[in-house]
Amino acid sequence: MAATLKAGRLPGASSKRRRMNWTPYLFLLLPLALYFVWIIAPTFYTIYLSLTNWNGVDPIPGFVGLQNFERLFTKDRTFSEALLNNVRWLVVFITIPTTLGLGLAMIFNNEMRGGRWYKISFYSPLVMSLPVIGLIWGWVYHPRAGLLNGFLQAIGVADPPGWLGDRDLAIWAVIIAAVWRQVGYVMVLYLAGLKNIDPSFVDAARVDGANRWQLFRHVILPLLAPVTTIIVVISIIDSLRAFDLVSIMTRGAQDTQVLANFMYIEAFNNYRMGYGAAIAVVLFAISLIFIGFYLSRVIRDELEY
């Protein structure tokens, strides 16, 4: 539909096209200036810093080439641990919330009495800030008086785990808190996707005698593919950015380090700004793959019209 709108667009502008038209640049001046100063330039500055051993204090950073990256990938165990945790986070994020969110969206896509309140229940974690979620889940996981261990003890588990204090469980415990928030998000996006499905497809399939599973598997799911792609990209980016929950719940202790928190520690605790910048650049490089993928879809959509 955008194509038709575009055709009718700007007849006035075309007559002026021979002259350079500065109007759009006037409109863009302020936003672009702000964007360059605070977003674009800092990105490049960080890339530059990653090639230095800057300690945050010296006026001029010392250039060390790729040394920081060499250390990250060959000598730094914390880095590989953090990277692994980000990958765990990512794998959980693109599977569990996506499945759960889709399931819930399928249920709530039907008109049902009181559906709105059920939906609100699942969305509400989405509007909580991550520090709040970190505090609330910290209380749930509390080894002595917490909800979870209180329950486990009540049903007769003699020695319930220490959750955030348990090296094998801690990162998963943090990720579950993150998933709890993410499910509502995914559900919203799928609900919107379902609303856009032309009912005639569904009806046609039903006339052909498809059962509910077949309908879902062969009609609805393929039609939701674009939404799924977006959700997967968003989930990946979110899991790479993960910082707040780790910072609030564990500070990266007990094998819960993630790249973002590790970068913070190296830069601001150890005054290894160059090294911290290198971690950020690795994070950026990984994101870039998915940003590129996402961008290519946007570009394709743009050029189709």
Partner 1 sequence: MTTAAKTTTPPAVQAEARAANMRRLGGSAGLYIFLTVLTIVWLLPVIAAFITSFRTMDEISIQGFWSIPQQFTLTNFNEAWNQARVSRYLGNSFAITIPSLIGMLFLSSLSAYALARYKFRLNLPIYFMFVAGTMLPFQILLLPVFRLTNALGLYNTQFSLILIHTAFQLGFCTFVLRNFMKTVPGEIFDAARVDGAGEFRMFWQIMIPLSLPALAALATLEFTWVFNDYLWAIILLQDDALKPVTAGLATLRGQFNTNWPVITAGALIATLPTLLVFIFLQRYFIQGLTLGSGK
Partner 2 sequence: MSRNKWFIAVLLMGVALLSVVSVLAQDGTVAYNSYASDPLPRAFDEKIVAMWNEQHPDMQVQHSIINHEDFKQAIRAYLLAEPAPDVLTWFAGNRARFFIDRGLIMDFSDAWQAEGFDDVYAPGFNALATVNEGKYFLPTSYYWWAVYYRPSLFEKAGIEKAPETFDELLGVCESLNAAGITPFTIGARFRWPAAAWFDYLNMRTNGPEFHINLMLLQESYLDDRVKATFANWRKLLDAGCFVEDPAALDWQEAVDDMVQERAAMYLMGAFITDSYPDELEEDLDFFRFPIIDPAIPVGEDAPTDGYFIAAQARNPEGAKAFLAFLGSKDVQQMAFEELGRLPTRTDVDISQAEPATQQGIQLIQSADYVAQFYDRDTTPAMAEAGMDGFMRFWDNPDDIDTILQDLENERLRILEEEAQ
Considering only residues 35 through 94, tell me which ones interact with partner 1, judged by CB under 8 A.
35, 37-43, 45-46, 49
Q: Which residue has the tokens 């700004």?
A: 273
Q: Which of 10, 13, 29, 295 binds partner 2 (CB under 8 A)?
A: 29
Q: Is 61 in the site for partner 2 (CB under 8 A)?
A: no
Q: Is 200 in the site for partner 2 (CB under 8 A)?
A: no
- Residue 102 interacting entry, from partner 1, partner 2, none, C-beta within 5 to 8 Å by type: none
237 near 287, Cβ under 8 Å?
Answer: yes
C-alpha 225/C-alpha 130 separation (Å) is 29
Query: What is the phi/psi pair of residue 14, to 5°?
Result: -65, -30
- Residue 60 interacting entry, from partner 2, partner 1, none, C-beta within 5 to 8 Å by type: none
What residues contact 153, with CB distance under 8 A and at least 6 apart? 160
Q: Is 143 in the site for partner 2 (CB under 8 A)?
A: yes
Stretch that binds partner 1, among 65-73, 74-82, 118-126, 216-224 (CB under 8 A): 118-126
Q: Which of 66, 87, 107, 225 binds partner 1 (CB under 8 A)?
A: 107
Q: Which C-beta is closer to partner 1: that of 6 or that of 218?
A: 6
Q: H or E stretch including 151?
A: helix 147-154
Q: Which of 165, 188, 205, 297 binds partner 2 (CB under 8 A)?
A: 165
- Residue 136 interacting entry, from partner 2, partner 1, none, C-beta within 5 to 8 Å by type: partner 1
52 near 63, Cβ under 8 Å?
Answer: yes
In whole angstroms, how far apart are CA 198 and each of 171, 183, 301?
42, 25, 20
Q: Which of residues 261-300 bind partner 2 (CB under 8 A)?
A: 265, 268-272
Residues touching partner 1: how many (CB under 8 A)?
Answer: 118
- Smallest gap from Cβ 75 to partner 2, in A, equals 7
CA angle, residues 230, 235, 238, in degrees to nearest 5: 125
Q: Which of 251, 289, 292, 301 binds partner 2 (CB under 8 A)?
A: 251
Q: Is 220 in the site for partner 1 (CB under 8 A)?
A: no
Q: Which of 154, 159, 209, 269 binds partner 1 (CB under 8 A)?
A: 154
Region label for 152, one of left (φ > 0), alpha (ψ between -120 and 50) or beta (otherwise): alpha
C-alpha 271/C-alpha 253 separation (Å) is 19
3-class SS of residue 221: helix
